[in-house]
């Protein structure tokens, strides 16, 4: 996953509002690069594992879930520990700035209670809420180069109350495409809510 070394380590975490916006931009850029790399290497995968039945959309959904795990501090990444430590340290710094901004507004008492950090600067609840609020944008970023790809089974609400429909074109629901902002185009995957060791 390119997320670990493409954008995160270089994010600005000095200004809390900038940190919040930069985080979304950097996560989306990392997702876009990840989607492009999966699209590039898909043919090699299909050649190595013929008939696996895994579509590009499934691969994108798994990487999307990995990105969610990294953002939320749940990643079971088994690679270069220095890179993992550097990335996690930067995310803690960014979420500390976001926490500072979020808990100083008009709802500060409620939000201080909700986001009380019990884990030494990890801000897990804030990270979870950030992911839930932004996962649809990250899904759009990771699928922006997945034209012509669809899931192997129905994953979307058809919108006509007749049942489910298939995510198609860009692995998205309701005919959504890059550059459009159609409502109800949540990611047609819940892999990001499945524990990493079960995916």
Give 67 or 1, the one with higher predicted confidence.
67
For range 89-108, the mean pLDDT: 91
Q: Which residue ranges form the domains of the chain, and what is each CATH number?
A: 3-143 (1.20.1310)
| 44 burial type by CB count under 10 A (0-12 exposed, 13-18 middle, 19+ buried) | exposed
For the chain, the distance separating the N- and C-terminal CA atoms, rounded to the nearest angstrom, is: 15
CA atoms of 151 and 168, how far apart (whole Å) = 7
pLDDT of residue 174: 64
pLDDT over 50 (residue 162): yes
Q: What is the mean pLDDT of residues 34-59?
A: 81
Read off the tokens for 125. 């609840």
Mean per-residue pLDDT of the chain: 79
Return the pLDDT at 156.
66
The model's confidence at residue 56, banded by pLDDT at 50, 70 and 90, is confident
pTM for this model (two decimals): 0.78
d(CA 119, CA 174): 40
Between 149 and 196, the more confident residue is: 196
Q: Copy the structure tokens of residue 42.
A: 């898909």
Q: What average pLDDT score do residues 173-188 get?
A: 63
- In this prediction, residue 18 carries a pLDDT of 58
């Amino acid at each position: 996953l390119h997320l670990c070394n493409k954008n995160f380590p270089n994010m600005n975490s000095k200004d809390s509002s900038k940190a919040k916006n930069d985080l979304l931009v950097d996560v989306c850029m990392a997702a876009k690069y990840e989607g492009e790399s999966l699209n590039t290497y898909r043919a090699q995968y299909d050649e190595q594992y013929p008939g696996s039945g895994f579509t590009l959309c499934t691969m994108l959904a798994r990487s999307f879930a990995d990105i969610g795990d990294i953002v939320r501090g749940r990643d079971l990444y088994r690679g270069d520990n220095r890179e993992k430590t550097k990335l996690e340290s930067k995310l803690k710094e960014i979420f500390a700035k976001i926490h500072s901004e979020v808990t100083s507004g008009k709802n500060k008492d409620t939000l201080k209670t909700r986001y009380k950090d019990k884990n030494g600067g990890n801000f897990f609840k804030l990270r979870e809420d950030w992911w839930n609020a932004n996962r649809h944008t990250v899904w759009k970023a990771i699928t922006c180069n997945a034209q012509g790809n669809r899931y192997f089974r129905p994953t979307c609400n058809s919108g006509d109350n007749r049942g489910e429909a298939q995510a198609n074109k860009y692995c998205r629901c309701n005919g959504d495409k890059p550059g459009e902002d159609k409502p109800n185009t949540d990611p047609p995957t819940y892999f990001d809510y499945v524990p990493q060791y079960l995916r």
